[in-house]
Structure 1
Amino acid sequence: MTTAFLPWRVVACHVELPADWRERLVRNLGERPRRLGVFGELALYGATACLAQAGVATLPGRAMLRVASRSACASATVAALEQLESGGPQPFTFLQGQPSQSLAALSRALRWQGDASFLIDEAPEQAARLACCEAAGRELLLGWVNDLPQAETRWYWLRQSADERLPVFTPETFQAF
């Protein structure tokens, strides 16, 4: 049986956002992230915590990385709009409003190069369904990150496998949070 027909299994999952998540992020990275907005920091925290749960610090080379969100870097966008009153957004605010900055930060933190992309969708299960279709036969690190109206970062490291010791993942599982 080819891997394309095997169910997606959860290798690791991290869905909680503790009050001290920023301090934990610094511990996970070994340093405070620089020039990242809240969205990028949330993505870094969730992804590193998910992989740490599996006892690894790097993402396998053949894996795909997908970050999905309802509204992307909303807090940076709000800050940029506020800065328009005084002459326009500052360069770091502008950069923090770009979701691609979180992908670059994730790649650097996970010491990984590969297929990474960002998706905005109102429905988490739709984002998960698309990511699973794209990643068929590969491993997938899938995150759902939002900074407004409430901070959330939820991550799944998935692999298609017949290993029944690992829980099955479905797009509806991704929506459940």
Structure 2
Amino acid sequence: MTNLIEKTIHSEEIFSGKIISLHLQDVELPNGKQSKREIIKHPGAVAILAITDDKKIVMVEQFRKALERTIVEIPAGKLEKDEEPALCARRELEEETGYECESLELLVSFYTSPGFADEIVHLFVAKGLTKKENAAALDEDEFVNVEEITLDEAIKYIKEQKIYDAKTSYAVQYLQLQEALGNK
């Protein structure tokens, strides 16, 4: 078996922003040669596959500046420092959709782009949804439209590229698999 570990020789933070930081690293490769790596550090995030009692998926439509367009996504948000993912998921669900949930279960955690970023997303399934009368407000720079769609509509949105992000596509495919297996 080949050793695959890259040893960090030097790391320098070259940008620190509100959400991410960018580090330039000098590394020693398994063959002894050196190379550079650009690494984005991210605090992690949660995403919530919120399913209503009538089997609709709660989605948010929002403008994504990096894409210069709106897309439809499952609710999601960044973890605060030392915040437990389940608490963050409940907070983000309420802030973005106005819903609270009876049950919240971790489905999976995954890295979004491990070639250059350490962002991990914790994907939860939320059920037993109730609309809150005095729900927590969105962040002041956040604007969303909330919609509830069926699985068939979500599949159509993927084909039409209205749903165009990995976490939401993953969540929709999970529901498709559950339906195919008869796990409703």
Q: TM-score, normalised by structure 2?
A: 0.23
Query: Which of 1 and 2 has higher RCO (CA within 8 Å, sep 6+)?
Result: 1
Q: Which has the higher helix share?
A: 1
Q: TM-score, normalised by structure 1?
A: 0.24
Q: Which has the higher strand share?
A: 2
